[in-house]
Amino acid sequence: MKLARRLRDDDILMTAWSGIPSPELCGILAGSGYDMVTVDMQHGAHAEASAFTAALQISHAGCPAALRIPVGRNDLASRALDVGFEAVIAPMINTVADAQAFADAMKYPPMGERSWGPGQALQLHKEHTPASYFAAANGETLAIAMIETRTALAALDDILAIGGIDGVFVGPSDLSISWSGGEGVEPDRDDMRQTLVDVAAKARGAGKFAAIFAVNPARSQEFASMGYRIIAVNTDTATVKAGAKAFLDMARG
């Protein structure tokens, strides 16, 4: 599967972020030059039907698909892999126990407790027989734990030490809420910058990768130079609005 290979090659992947529950729009984003498309069931409006159909549209456009599950929905993490998503992003992983439960849902024994049934995944990833999928899945499908509170930062080393966790994903908006003790949302706070550098370095030191959400797409190269390997370039809603504004500005002269 593509995503794990590209991360092993140390590529920098820009992901689209889909909250509008349209599989067709996901297919359009997948064909627009992004390296991957992430479907968001935490804050996005996707239900299972739109998310699972989006996995087909994204894959048919030749792009890897990731799913962000709602908080604690590890049952959906396993299903996401069964329908062909290559990665699952779990929000609000604050403790080693949170991370271990997520990893267990994502990995087949002996590493974890994932149950067998990758029906649609085998349709999408035709390079695999059932036997080769079973042998490869723990290495090729990615469990990504979101680090977005001070509690999670304190547990980061232990979360990174879990075999079934492949990478960590910084959510700077939630982190800024926790950082400020609930004073407000300020994802681009200067005083979080060194912590962002440290998270990427710790992930690499543990042989894992780091990802981050760029509310401001102009910060993407800065995040890449810190060592982040997956960068979410704002949301589909922001993307559509920016495109509409650019076209209208052009049309109105």
Which region among 77-85, 135-143, 168-176, 238-246 touches ligand 3PY (by CB under 6 A)?
168-176
Interacting residue with ligand 3PY among 95, 173, 234, 237 (CB under 6 A): 173
Q: Is 157 helix (H, G, I), strand (E, B) or coil?
A: helix
Q: CB-wise, 121 or 144, nearer to ligand 3PY?
A: 144
Q: Is 46 helix (H, G, I), strand (E, B) or coil?
A: coil
With beta carbons less than 8 A apart as the criterion, state whether 111 and 150 touch. no
Which region among 69-77, 93-101, 168-176, 239-247 touches Mg ion (by CB under 5 A)?
168-176
With beta carbons less than 8 A apart as the criterion, state whether 76 and 54 touch. no
Does residue 19 touch ligand 3PY according to CB under 6 A? Answer: no
Q: CB-wise, 22 or 38, nearer to ligand 3PY?
A: 38
Cβ-in-10-Å burial (0-12, 13-18, 19+) of 237 comes to middle
> x/- binding map, residues 184-203, to ligand 3PY, per CB under 6 A?
---x----------------
Binding partner of 84, given ligand 3PY, Mg ion, none, CB within 5-8 angstroms per partner class: none
CA angle 137, 231, 19 (to 5 degrees): 80
Q: Is 203 helix (H, G, I), strand (E, B) or coil?
A: helix
Question: Footprint of ligand 3PY on this chain (CB under 6 A)?
Answer: 91, 148, 171-174, 187, 213
